[in-house]
Structure 1
């Protein structure tokens, strides 16, 4: 997927889950796209881990730092 397709893909899955407003910052989406190489399964795994990383800090938006933590966690288990 391209970067734009990755952003749409994430937004689509959030919409299905009932979230209509943005949940990921543009920087986080960019990192997720790059680390996931545009592959849907990798994007899903990193996005999920990003949500988990943002939760303990009670962040309303998944930001770049949460995405970086997620990338580290996801790549460590591959």
Structure 2
């Protein structure tokens, strides 16, 4: 099977499982979902290493959003 297709299948399965589990436990915060989706994307990249023809703009944008979310959480913890 093609690595890109396998990566897409594994990533979609991980995201579906995450949504089902977080929905089942009643999680409603969007930042939790985005953070877990970002981690799943990078885990998939590290394990399966699909070929990229161009710069991975999705990875860059997910990393920036993840850093912002973590920064906001750290500031909330420090200020309370």
- Structure-1-length-normalised TM-score: 0.35
The structure number with the bigger radius of gyration is: 2
Q: Higher helix share goes to which structure?
A: 2
Q: TM-score, normalised by structure 2?
A: 0.35
